[in-house]
Structure 1
Amino acid sequence: MSEQPNPTEIDEPTPSQQQPGTAYPDVPAEAWSGVHRGPLREGEWVRLTDSKGRKHNFELQAGKRFFSNKGHLDHDDLIGREEGFTLASSAGGEYLVFRPLLSEFVVSMPRGAAVVYPKDAAQIVAMADIFPGARVVEAGVGSGALTCSLLRAVGPWGRVSSFERREEFADVARRNVNQFFGAPADATHPAWELTLGDLAEALPASGERCDRIILDMLAPWECLDAAAGALVPGGIVCAYVATTTQLSRFVETVRAHGGFTEPQPWESLVRDWHVEGLAVRPGHKMIGHTAFLVTARRLAPGQKPLRKTRRPAPGAYGPDYSGPRPPGLPVEPDPQD
């Protein structure tokens, strides 16, 4: 567990900065950053990298050993040392030792559901404009990967309200989030609330208002009415979907709703590069398609989105199309009739 810095070393938040219901008003923001400083401590995770770039992640526990095909290392030989050192195993293998970054932690932590990869989490934080003090609603929580990024972005005086239908996923996410932020026993991040239930029903019942809503689920269009009711004017809804059929259904549902700006869909691809002197070329590994992202902004009550002046492509909304339609769009005739 990370040690919490002395609250007297950092200015306390003013009453206007601190959200009502904060569980730990005397804990400074640094304690909930997920970044640990100083010597390695029992209960923290470390990341070992060998000379071939292979990586191993594990939790430090006094008296335990780490085993690999290069022998073993005693956890006690790591505990108490500053990160950034090399250590030889019993069989002569060398490892570089660091604490894992958030992007490294989330791809190696225990999983209940698939995680939102760092490249997508970074896009969500930037393109959905997650800011310190923001009120963010998330559904579903999965294994807690995106939750960690959202909590770091909003800070301890923002709020992240996560909704998850499946209890086993919620349990895994809770353990992962608490592990990353070093939460005390029987406690969690002061800005986080995890609710077991369906956002489409639970969010309207709560009466909660929010600045941002992130939908990571199979049918995010089913939650659009609930999202519209909770978002403040100018707020952003962001959907994370895996397939083109999900992408089309969500985009067209947003258009048909009429309470949002024109949705913006995209995806990101990440390719590494090999650089050695004059040998500069694309790497052999690439993080290709993981998911599509869509964002749209909530309009003020009674306002309508601007009508698109560009006509849809011929056949886009023809007789074979059965999904939602933008308001005022006529059904195209069958060219064979």
Structure 2
Amino acid sequence: MTEQSHERPETTQSAVPVRGAANRRGPLRVGERVQLTDDSGRITTITLAEGGEYHTHRGVLAHQELIGAPEGTVVTNSGGIQFQALRPLLKDFVLSMPRGAAVVYPKDAGQIVTMADIFPGARVVEAGVGSGALSISLLRAVGDEGTVHSFERREEFADIARGNIETMFGGPHPAWQLTLGDLAEELTRVEEAGSVDRVVLDMLAPWECLDAVAHVLAPGGVVICYVATVTQLSRVAEAMRADGRYTEPEASETMVRGWHVEGLAVRPDHRMVAHTGFLIQSRKLAEGAVRLAPKRRASKSDYTEEDLQAWTPVALGERIVSDRKLRRAGRDATNLAEQAAKATAQIDPDSRRENTPQSTEDTSHE
């Protein structure tokens, strides 16, 4: 087991403002990711570089046309094709960033932040970190004064997540702490009993961690699990009920369908982001409290050996990611993080303080 954390800098009234705020404002800078959209709606994301060029079969666009320009600028390449340039939104970044593990889609991340009531200053535990998509949303919600303690068993995934997080925030986030190891084994060793506000589990077998979670979760604290299949959903729900320290679990899924709106031609899109995963949540009861549950008709709830076989990683569809792909994604994530750090370094600290209000209220395609 290896624990990795970033020391929290001393904060004063004149300290650098909320992490990630300054590098989302102002003119476009070298090292930043920029989203180019042409007149047909085709989107390409590039990283600005001194002397860089964006080549297509319809002409060349010099990066210098964008460096120092305000966000929302429209530029024309050598072939007369126009592009609008904007910084990627979080949803764009998540779906285009380097990845080893599958990411939590924005529609689910938004639900997790809201349903689990992730508030500024909260102490949040997350497992596993995957490619860092959900970690970014959690860090934005807790702010610089909260804590997101991520657990990840695979170092390759942790490296990719670290690169993606540092790319998004322009450097290490002061609220993020990373532990390499199994949550079920490490959580009670590194977190005190009753000290955690929220726990988010994105793993194949979250039921294996419910005992450790109940130990560190504060009374009234929320645990929310992201699972892909109905068999996982069923076992998590029954494990929560059997544990006795959690309220009656609630389960849901979210689907997002876009709409085509052009004059009177208004209709739903032919494609939609449908099932990506289920969310199931519960809350920690006070010590010694007895769970209240709705009365149900008697039903078969015991698991057979055949049922248990349905919950193996292979049966649940776990994808094996090749070492080659992980190494490539890790290099890409690290390179993007280095470029983002260069872009952040160009921001004048005095200007950042001057243009940032003292209030730190969180406002927060493929």
TM-score, structure 1 as length reference: 0.84
How do 1:1-337 residues align onto structure 2 when only pairs under 5 Å count?
Answer: 22-26=8-12, 27-33=15-21, 36-183=24-171, 188-208=172-192, 209-312=195-298, 315-317=299-301
Task: Answer whether contact 2:18 2:144 (CA < 8 A) is retained.
Answer: no
* Structure 2 Cα separation of the partners of residues 108 and 69 of structure 1: 22
* Structure 2 Cα separation of the partners of residues 262 and 29 of structure 1: 40
Q: Residue type matched to 2:253 in 1?
A: E
* Structure 1 Cα separation of the partners of residues 289 and 307 of structure 2: 24
Q: Residue type matched to 1:242 in 2?
A: A
Report the Cα offset of residue 71 of structure 1. Answer: 2.4
Q: Matched residue pairs, number?
A: 299
Q: 1:223 to 1:195 in 2, by over 3 A?
A: same
* Secondary structure of 2:108's aligned partner: helix
Q: State the identity %.
A: 56
Query: Which string of whole-angstrom CA distances, capped at 9 and with x for unpartnered residues, describes residues 251-304 of structure 1?
Result: 111111110001111000000011122211111120010110011000011111
Q: 1:134 to 1:78 in 2, by over 3 A?
A: same
Task: Answer whether contact 1:271 1:282 (CA < 8 A) is retained.
Answer: yes
* Structure 1 Cα separation of the partners of residues 303 and 198 of structure 2: 36
Task: Answer whether contact 2:197 2:218 (CA < 8 A) is retained.
Answer: yes
Deviates more, 1:115-124 or 1:201-210: 201-210
Which of the two has greater helix per residue?
2
Task: Answer whether contact 2:23 2:170 (CA < 8 A) is retained.
Answer: no
* Secondary structure of 1:30's aligned partner: coil
Structure 1 spans left out of the alignment, 5+ residues: 1-19, 325-337
Task: Answer whether contact 2:107 2:254 (CA < 8 A) is retained.
Answer: yes
Report the Cα offset of residue 30 of structure 1. Answer: 2.9
Q: 1:121 to 1:178 in 2, by over 3 A?
A: same
Report the Cα offset of residue 310 of structure 1. Answer: 3.0
Report the Cα offset of residue 85 of structure 1. Answer: 1.2
Structure 2 spans left out of the alignment, 5+ residues: 1-5, 309-366
Q: 1:69 to 1:252 in 2, by over 3 A?
A: farther
1:327 alignment counterpart: none
Report the Cα offset of residue 61 of structure 1. Answer: 1.4
Q: 1:141 to 1:64 in 2, by over 3 A?
A: same
Q: Which has the higher contact order (CA 8 A, sep 6+)?
A: 2
Task: Answer whether contact 1:136 1:161 (CA < 8 A) is retained.
Answer: yes
Report the Cα offset of residue 35 of structure 1. Answer: 5.2
Q: 1:164 to 1:204 in 2, by over 3 A?
A: same
Q: Residue type matched to 1:66 in 2?
A: Y
When the two chains are superposed, the root-mean-square deviation of aligned CA atoms in Å is: 2.0
Task: Answer whether contact 1:249 1:323 (CA < 8 A) is retained.
Answer: no
* Structure 1 Cα separation of the partners of residues 31 and 54 of structure 2: 14
Q: 1:262 to 1:290 in 2, by over 3 A?
A: same
Deviates more, 1:260-269 or 1:28-37: 28-37
* Structure 2 Cα separation of the partners of residues 106 and 24 of structure 1: 30
* Structure 2 Cα separation of the partners of residues 319 and 203 of structure 1: 28
* Structure 2 Cα separation of the partners of residues 61 and 125 of structure 1: 35
* Structure 2 Cα separation of the partners of residues 55 and 245 of structure 1: 38
Query: Which string of whole-angstrom CA distances, capped at 9 and with x for unpartnered residues, describes residues 170-213 of structure 1?
Result: 00000000010011xxxx11000011111111111113321000
Task: Answer whether contact 1:34 1:180 (CA < 8 A) is retained.
Answer: no
Q: 1:238 to 1:151 in 2, by over 3 A?
A: same
* Structure 2 Cα separation of the partners of residues 24 and 61 of structure 1: 33
Q: 1:233 to 1:175 in 2, by over 3 A?
A: same
1:329 alignment counterpart: none
TM-score, structure 2 as length reference: 0.78
